[in-house]
Amino acid sequence: MSKLLYPSAFEELIASFRTLPGIGSKSAERMAYQILEMDEEAVSRFASSLLKVKNEIKHCQICGLMSDTDTCNICNSNIRDESLVCVVQSSKDVFALEKSEGYNGLYHVLNGVISTVNGKSVDELNLDSLVERVNEGKIKEVILATNPTVEGEVTALYISELLKDKEVIVTRLAYGLPVGAHLDYADELTLNRALQGRRKISNK
Protein backbone atom coordinates (compact mmCIF):
# COMPACT_ATOMS: atom_id res chain seq x y z
CA MET A 1 0.00 0.00 0.00
CA SER A 2 1.57 3.32 -1.01
CA LYS A 3 1.81 5.87 1.78
CA LEU A 4 -0.65 8.74 1.77
CA LEU A 5 1.29 11.96 1.36
CA TYR A 6 0.37 15.52 2.25
CA PRO A 7 -0.23 17.81 -0.73
CA SER A 8 3.15 19.31 -1.67
CA ALA A 9 2.19 22.86 -0.68
CA PHE A 10 1.27 21.55 2.75
CA GLU A 11 4.62 19.76 3.09
CA GLU A 12 6.42 22.95 2.11
CA LEU A 13 4.57 24.94 4.71
CA ILE A 14 5.44 22.38 7.40
CA ALA A 15 9.09 22.63 6.35
CA SER A 16 8.95 26.42 6.65
CA PHE A 17 7.42 26.29 10.12
CA ARG A 18 10.12 23.83 11.17
CA THR A 19 12.82 26.42 10.52
CA LEU A 20 11.39 28.52 13.37
CA PRO A 21 13.08 28.31 16.79
CA GLY A 22 11.71 25.58 19.06
CA ILE A 23 9.33 24.13 16.48
CA GLY A 24 9.50 20.38 15.86
CA SER A 25 7.67 18.40 13.23
CA LYS A 26 4.52 17.82 15.31
CA SER A 27 4.08 21.50 16.15
CA ALA A 28 4.82 22.46 12.56
CA GLU A 29 2.09 20.09 11.41
CA ARG A 30 -0.40 21.57 13.87
CA MET A 31 0.47 25.06 12.66
CA ALA A 32 -0.03 24.10 9.04
CA TYR A 33 -3.45 22.64 9.85
CA GLN A 34 -4.28 25.87 11.63
CA ILE A 35 -3.38 27.83 8.49
CA LEU A 36 -5.79 25.64 6.51
CA GLU A 37 -8.56 26.68 8.85
CA MET A 38 -7.73 30.38 9.01
CA ASP A 39 -9.69 32.71 6.80
CA GLU A 40 -8.07 33.87 3.59
CA GLU A 41 -7.58 37.44 4.72
CA ALA A 42 -5.64 36.45 7.83
CA VAL A 43 -3.38 34.15 5.82
CA SER A 44 -2.60 36.77 3.21
CA ARG A 45 -1.91 39.28 5.99
CA PHE A 46 0.48 36.73 7.50
CA ALA A 47 2.26 36.19 4.18
CA SER A 48 2.58 39.88 3.44
CA SER A 49 3.87 40.69 6.92
CA LEU A 50 6.61 38.09 6.39
CA LEU A 51 7.67 39.77 3.18
CA LYS A 52 7.34 43.25 4.63
CA VAL A 53 9.55 42.43 7.59
CA LYS A 54 12.20 41.14 5.25
CA ASN A 55 11.92 43.97 2.73
CA GLU A 56 11.19 47.02 4.86
CA ILE A 57 13.24 46.45 7.96
CA LYS A 58 16.87 47.42 7.64
CA HIS A 59 19.57 48.31 10.10
CA CYS A 60 19.90 51.90 11.27
CA GLN A 61 22.82 53.42 9.36
CA ILE A 62 24.29 54.87 12.52
CA CYS A 63 23.82 52.25 15.25
CA GLY A 64 22.69 49.08 13.45
CA LEU A 65 19.36 48.77 15.31
CA MET A 66 16.56 47.31 13.24
CA SER A 67 14.45 50.09 11.82
CA ASP A 68 12.11 50.79 8.95
CA THR A 69 13.73 54.19 8.42
CA ASP A 70 17.34 54.93 7.45
CA THR A 71 18.21 56.04 10.95
CA CYS A 72 16.38 54.78 14.03
CA ASN A 73 14.23 56.70 16.50
CA ILE A 74 16.93 56.56 19.16
CA CYS A 75 19.67 58.02 16.94
CA ASN A 76 17.19 60.65 15.73
CA SER A 77 16.11 61.61 19.21
CA ASN A 78 17.44 64.87 20.64
CA ILE A 79 16.78 64.05 24.28
CA ARG A 80 19.29 61.21 24.59
CA ASP A 81 22.73 61.50 26.14
CA GLU A 82 25.10 61.49 23.16
CA SER A 83 28.18 60.92 25.29
CA LEU A 84 27.09 57.37 26.21
CA VAL A 85 27.03 54.38 23.85
CA CYS A 86 25.88 50.95 24.93
CA VAL A 87 27.21 48.12 22.72
CA VAL A 88 24.84 45.13 22.45
CA GLN A 89 24.73 41.91 20.42
CA SER A 90 21.30 42.31 18.85
CA SER A 91 18.30 44.58 18.42
CA LYS A 92 16.47 42.41 20.96
CA ASP A 93 18.82 43.63 23.68
CA VAL A 94 18.06 47.28 22.89
CA PHE A 95 14.35 46.64 23.44
CA ALA A 96 15.15 44.84 26.72
CA LEU A 97 17.30 47.74 27.96
CA GLU A 98 14.70 50.29 26.88
CA LYS A 99 12.06 48.41 28.89
CA SER A 100 14.26 48.71 31.99
CA GLU A 101 14.00 52.50 31.63
CA GLY A 102 17.38 52.93 33.33
CA TYR A 103 19.37 54.15 30.35
CA ASN A 104 19.15 57.29 28.29
CA GLY A 105 22.24 57.08 26.09
CA LEU A 106 22.69 55.80 22.57
CA TYR A 107 23.24 52.24 21.37
CA HIS A 108 25.46 50.33 19.02
CA VAL A 109 24.12 46.99 17.77
CA LEU A 110 26.80 44.52 16.66
CA ASN A 111 24.30 42.13 15.08
CA GLY A 112 26.31 39.15 16.26
CA VAL A 113 29.20 38.08 18.44
CA ILE A 114 32.59 36.63 17.66
CA SER A 115 31.88 32.91 17.58
CA THR A 116 33.82 29.86 16.52
CA VAL A 117 30.62 27.78 16.51
CA ASN A 118 28.42 29.82 14.22
CA GLY A 119 31.47 30.94 12.28
CA LYS A 120 30.85 34.67 12.73
CA SER A 121 34.08 36.54 12.22
CA VAL A 122 35.06 39.98 13.35
CA ASP A 123 34.47 41.42 9.87
CA GLU A 124 30.82 40.46 9.94
CA LEU A 125 30.13 42.49 13.06
CA ASN A 126 29.06 46.09 12.96
CA LEU A 127 32.41 47.24 14.39
CA ASP A 128 33.98 49.65 11.91
CA SER A 129 31.16 52.09 12.41
CA LEU A 130 31.61 51.88 16.20
CA VAL A 131 35.24 52.96 15.84
CA GLU A 132 34.12 55.74 13.49
CA ARG A 133 31.56 56.95 16.01
CA VAL A 134 34.18 56.97 18.76
CA ASN A 135 36.62 58.85 16.48
CA GLU A 136 34.04 61.61 16.02
CA GLY A 137 34.82 62.59 19.61
CA LYS A 138 31.33 63.08 21.06
CA ILE A 139 31.29 59.78 22.91
CA LYS A 140 32.84 59.74 26.39
CA GLU A 141 31.90 56.24 27.56
CA VAL A 142 31.35 52.93 25.77
CA ILE A 143 29.39 50.41 27.84
CA LEU A 144 30.02 46.85 26.70
CA ALA A 145 26.72 45.00 27.19
CA THR A 146 27.29 41.78 25.28
CA ASN A 147 25.93 38.68 27.04
CA PRO A 148 27.95 37.21 29.92
CA THR A 149 28.68 34.09 27.86
CA VAL A 150 31.97 32.90 26.38
CA GLU A 151 31.21 34.52 23.02
CA GLY A 152 29.97 37.71 24.66
CA GLU A 153 33.08 37.97 26.82
CA VAL A 154 35.43 37.37 23.90
CA THR A 155 33.64 40.03 21.90
CA ALA A 156 33.75 42.49 24.80
CA LEU A 157 37.47 41.84 25.23
CA TYR A 158 38.05 42.34 21.51
CA ILE A 159 36.22 45.65 21.50
CA SER A 160 38.04 46.90 24.60
CA GLU A 161 41.34 46.15 22.82
CA LEU A 162 40.09 47.92 19.73
CA LEU A 163 39.29 51.06 21.72
CA LYS A 164 42.38 50.91 23.96
CA ASP A 165 44.10 53.95 22.48
CA LYS A 166 40.98 56.04 22.00
CA GLU A 167 39.93 58.93 24.19
CA VAL A 168 37.02 57.05 25.70
CA ILE A 169 36.15 55.19 28.92
CA VAL A 170 35.21 51.55 28.29
CA THR A 171 33.01 49.84 30.89
CA ARG A 172 31.33 46.45 31.20
CA LEU A 173 27.88 45.72 32.71
CA ALA A 174 28.02 44.54 36.34
CA TYR A 175 28.01 40.84 37.15
CA GLY A 176 26.17 39.62 40.19
CA LEU A 177 23.02 38.05 41.46
CA PRO A 178 19.90 38.67 39.39
CA VAL A 179 17.27 40.49 41.43
CA GLY A 180 14.87 38.00 43.05
CA ALA A 181 17.37 35.14 42.90
CA HIS A 182 18.18 32.77 45.75
CA LEU A 183 21.78 32.48 46.91
CA ASP A 184 21.64 28.70 47.14
CA TYR A 185 20.52 28.40 43.53
CA ALA A 186 23.18 30.72 42.09
CA ASP A 187 26.13 29.08 40.34
CA GLU A 188 29.61 29.41 41.79
CA LEU A 189 30.92 31.72 39.11
CA THR A 190 28.06 34.16 39.63
CA LEU A 191 28.57 34.07 43.41
CA ASN A 192 32.28 34.74 42.98
CA ARG A 193 31.59 37.68 40.72
CA ALA A 194 28.96 39.01 43.12
CA LEU A 195 31.51 38.88 45.95
CA GLN A 196 34.21 40.56 43.88
CA GLY A 197 31.82 43.29 42.83
CA ARG A 198 30.40 43.94 46.33
CA ARG A 199 29.53 47.53 47.17
CA LYS A 200 29.74 49.53 50.38
CA ILE A 201 26.35 50.49 51.76
CA SER A 202 27.38 52.22 55.02
CA ASN A 203 30.00 54.92 55.48
CA LYS A 204 31.69 53.68 58.65
- Residues in touch with its own copies (CB under 8 A): 1, 3-10, 12-13, 15-16, 19-22, 27, 29-36, 38, 40, 42-54, 56-57, 66-68, 73-74, 79, 90-92, 94-95, 98, 101, 104
- Closest distance between its own copies and the C-beta of residue 96, in Å? 10
Angle subtended at Cα 88 by Cα 83 and Cα 90, rounded to the nearest 5 degrees = 135
Task: Determine the residue type at 118.
Answer: N
Q: Give the 3-state secondary structure of residue 94.
A: helix
- Which of 96/189 has CB closer to its own copies? 96
User: From the CB of residue 44, how many other CB atoms can be counted at a distance below 10 Å?
Assistant: 11
Residue 169 CB, shortest distance to its own copies, in Å, is 24
| Nearest-angstrom CA–CA distance, 107 and 88 | 7
Q: Which is nearer to its own copies, 101 or 165 (CB)?
A: 101
Cβ neighbours for 18, distance < 8 A, ≥ 6 positions apart: 24, 25, 28
The DSSP call for residue 168 is S
Rounded CA-CA distance 126/88 in Å is 10
Nearer to its own copies, 90 or 155 (CB): 90
CB of 76 to its own copies, least distance (A): 12
| Residue placing its CB nearer to its own copies in the complex, 49 or 121 | 49
Query: Rounded to the nearest whole angstrom, what is the least distance from the CB of residue 12 to its own copies in the complex?
Result: 4
